[in-house]
Amino acid sequence: MLAMNYRGPYRVRADQKPEPRIEHPNDAIVRVTRACICGSDLHLYHGLVPDTRVGTTFGHEFTGVVEEVGPSVQNLQPGDRVLVPFNVFCGSCYFCSKELYGNCHETNPQATAVGGIYGYSHTAGGYDGGQAEYVRVPLADVGPTVIPTDMDLDDAVMLTDAFPTGYQAAEMGQIREGDTVVVFGAGPVGLFAAKSAWLLGAGRVIVVDHVEYRLEFARRFAQCETLDFRTVRDMAEHIKKMTDGLGADVCIDAVGCEAAGSALHSLTGVKLKLQGGAAIVLHWCINSVRKGGVVSIVGVYGPTFNAIPIGNAVNKGLTLRMNQASVKRHLPRLIEHIQAGRVKPSEVITHHIPLHEVSDAYHIFSSKLDQCIKPVLVPPRVRLN
């Protein structure tokens, strides 16, 4: 089969790899119909995630058609159209019983750090991902969700990560009616966080980025205010001036470890890897939110040390909430929002790119070329309509 093949930092290509097979009675084999490139994949692509091994296939956002199921699978059958949450989870451990599917304790040997994730290095379990023609889906009775018959595949694939992660970012912000919410990052997750903030009752939403076409997209998609951080001398001071001197009620970090905005953080966190990423957005969030406010973190950081102003958070009495999104928990509500016409997730997709052009797709997305917001890889013989 054709699959994305990681050959080292900034080096990916489409190669022929063996088709996956049933390895456990509760496995399914899924023929992929859509596979996104996520901003988190770029951290792998840039060599920032530990134990990303040569030969790995990335891709934690994918939909497909069930081709084969193991003898223990009861909830799926061949021919089902499914969306597959990026979490690999058992559904029955201590954490899954609390619907913390992103923290499953049974699907990753490194479970003290993170649960299992498709295509996201051996730090997250070593599972091959969906940027391929076929993918093995373990624990198939609890992970995949059958796509409603009236739902477009481009909307469905956004439910595998980007939309639920953005929604959980807003939910963890504990937004109250009328709150001012500042979202750092105008990528797909930040866009969905901004959109979700309105759904949860925000009175004002501000998105911060530095790429003009992304800011323009945010204004159009999320009907929000925007701020180019390159025009700001001191972020906390500027946000306070915009909010009657108090600061935002909620700040959301939808950027993570490759944030621009500080030469020092980029040098120590990205170039020299002395900390687990460039943490400037965490500084901005902690310093820009009001006393007693909430900082919500969904941007990805490495598992090592980060230099952040924890003393400021303590003295301001902040609530810090963070996690990998537990996709399955959010799906009923998000499907309802889509079917009611409140959100059209596929609007963030700007590029459909054939799987065999995966190297170009990563370059376009990483370098922010051609006004790319969200690229979707399409395997051979899959029709767009």
Q: Is the pTM of this model over 0.85?
A: yes
Query: 2-160+326-378 and 162-322 share one CATH topology?
Result: no
For 346, counting Cβ atoms within 10 Å of its Cβ (0-12 exposed, 13-18 middle, 19+ buried), the class is: middle
Stretches where the chain sits below pLDDT 70 are 385
Give the integer Cα–Cα distance in Å for 224 and 166.
15
CA atoms within 13 A on the CB side of 100: 13
Q: Residues 172, 163, 333, 198: is their CA dihedral positive or negative?
A: positive
C-beta of residue 125 within 8 angstroms of C-beta of residue 110: yes
- The tens digit of pLDDT for each residue in 308-327 reads 999 999 999 999 999 999 99
C-beta of residue 280 within 8 angstroms of C-beta of residue 259: yes
Amino acid making up residue 89: F
Give the integer Cα–Cα distance in Å for 106 and 134.
24
3 state SS for the chain: CEEEEEEECCEEEEEECCCCCCCCCCCEEEEEEEEECCHHHHHHHCCCCCCCCCCCCCCCCEEEEEEEECCCCCCCCCCCEEEECCEECCCCCCCHHHCCHHHCCCCCCCCCCCCEEECCCHHHCCECCCCECEEEECCCCCCCEECCCCCCHHHHHHHHCHHHHHHHHHHHCCCCCCCEEEEECCCHHHHHHHHHHHHCCCCEEEEEECCHHHHHHHHHHHCCEEEEHHHCCCHHHHHHHHCCCCCEEEEEECCCCECCCCHHHHHHHHHCCCCCCECHHHHHHHHHEEEEEEEEECCCCCCCCCCCCHHHHHHHCCEEEECCCCHHHHHHHHHHHHHCCCCCHHHHCCEEEEHHHHHHHHHHHHCCCCCCCCEEEECCCCCCC
Q: What is the pLDDT of residue 360?
A: 98
Which residue bears the tokens 């399955």? 328
Structure tokens at 164: 């639920």
- The CA-based angle 37-193-124, given to 5 degrees, is 45
Rg of the chain over all Cα atoms, to the nearest angstrom = 20
- The tens digit of pLDDT for each residue in 66-121 reads 999 999 999 999 999 999 999 999 999 999 999 999 999 999 998 887 899 999 99
C-beta of residue 286 within 8 angstroms of C-beta of residue 295: yes
Closest CA to 270 of 43, 38, 57, 24: 43
What are the structural domain ranges in the chain? 2-160+326-378, 162-322
Structure tokens at 311: 């003393």
φ/ψ of residue 342, rounded to 5: -75, -30
2-160+326-378: CATH number:
3.90.180.10
Q: What is the pLDDT of residue 266?
A: 81
* Distance, C-alpha 193 to centroid of its chain: 11
User: 162-322, what's its fold?
Assistant: Rossmann fold (3.40.50)
